[in-house]
Amino acid sequence: MAGVSVFWMGRDKVILAGIVQITAGTLAIFFGSYISTKAQKHFFEDQIARERREIDELPEKEKQEIRYIFSELSFNREEREIAVKI
């Protein structure tokens, strides 16, 4: 009987350890993804705010930036000016 109970206790611990491990792993994935999504969102919001400020304060610099970006993407002159206008 004692052997059986030790056997079961051992098994419970193994199962418990497994549950702890799975839970910890799931939480790590969840929080890792949550934190990186939040950080990414914050990063893009900062970039957008900065660009909006730059459009107000340095419109010519921003136009040049857009021309450069669209030329890197192989858009022609006419298409680049459309992008600048938009």
In whole angstroms, what is the distance from residue 18 CA to residue 12 CA?
10
Alpha helices in 58-76 (DSSP H): 59-72
Task: Please select the residue that binds Zn ion; options are 36, 54, 71, 79, rule is CB under 5 A.
Answer: 54
Min dist CB 85 to Zn ion, Å, is: 16
Region from 15-23, 35-43, 49-57, 70-78 binding Zn ion, contact rule CB under 5 A:
49-57
CA angle at 66 for the pair 65 and 72, rounded to the nearest 5°? 90
- Going by C-beta distance under 8 Å and a sequence separation of 6 or more, which residues neighbour residue 67? 80, 81, 83, 84
Consecutive H or E run containing 43: helix 2-57
Min dist CB 47 to Zn ion, Å, is: 9
* Residue of this chain nearest to Zn ion (CB atom): 54
By CB under 5 A, residue 46 contacts Zn ion: no
Q: Quick one: 46 or 51, whose CB is closer to Zn ion?
A: 51
Q: Which residues bind Zn ion (CB under 5 A)?
A: 51, 54, 65
